[in-house]
């Protein structure tokens, strides 16, 4: 990876972390990893108990810097309530930026298990992405991940 791409990745990471680092009471900032397409660092900032902003930063094929950010709505009544924790369905929309292949619009749907007694969650999501530049068209991404909640 050349120096410019490394600097871009570092800058995107710093912006992501500082943007999400000011978590709200009872719904703090969480950070973790996602494995899939893309595999990278994930952050989630809860705006209130039903809405959040989620982002992933990564380096993908051909050493391209990658960032996506989504606004999410959580539906806690979509699945039967588990004995412990919470299991919301979430859905949302956002953008994807890749250093050489351009910008895309994302839709996302997933499930998120929030542990009751531990500051962790796990999630599984699928996202159709409409890209505009190189490789224009409809593509799919998705992943499995987990996050640690700070300040809880």
Domains of the chain plus CATH, in order, are 3-149 (2.40.160.20)
Residue 24 has pLDDT above 50, yes or no: no
Residue 7 has pLDDT above 70, yes or no: no
pLDDT, tens digit (0-9, with 9 covering 90-100), for 79-102: 999 999 999 999 999 999 988 778
| Tokens encoding 64 | 């391209």
Q: Are strands 40-46 and 51-60 parallel, antiparallel or unpaired?
A: antiparallel
Looking at the chain, how many residues does it have?
A: 152
* CA-based radius of gyration for the chain: 15
Residue 26 has pLDDT above 70, yes or no: no
Q: Output the CA torsion sign for 91, 94, 97, 102.
A: positive
User: What pTM, to 2 d.p., does this model score?
Assistant: 0.81
User: Would you place residue 60 in the very low, low, confident or very high pLDDT band (cuts 50, 70, 90)?
Assistant: confident
Would you say 133 and 102 are in contact if contact means Cβ atoms under 8 Å apart? yes
| Tokens encoding 81 | 């309530």
């Amino acid at each position: 990876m050349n120096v410019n791409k490394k600097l871009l990745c570092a800058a995107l990471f710093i912006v992501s972390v500082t943007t999400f680092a000011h978590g709200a009471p009872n719904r703090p900032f969480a950070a973790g990893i996602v494995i899939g397409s893309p595999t990278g660092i994930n952050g989630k900032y809860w705006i209130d108990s039903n809405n959040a902003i989620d982002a992933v930063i990564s380096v993908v094929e051909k050493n391209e810097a990658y960032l996506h950010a989504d606004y999410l709505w959580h539906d806690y009544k979509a699945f039967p309530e588990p004995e412990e924790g919470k299991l919301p369905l979430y859905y949302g929309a956002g953008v994807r930026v890749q250093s050489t292949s351009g910008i895309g619009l994302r839709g996302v749907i997933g499930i998120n298990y929030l542990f009751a007694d531990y500051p962790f969650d796990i999630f599984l999501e699928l996202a159709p992405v409409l890209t505009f530049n190189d490789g224009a068209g409809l593509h799919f991404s998705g992943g499995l991940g987990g996050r640690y909640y700070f300040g809880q």
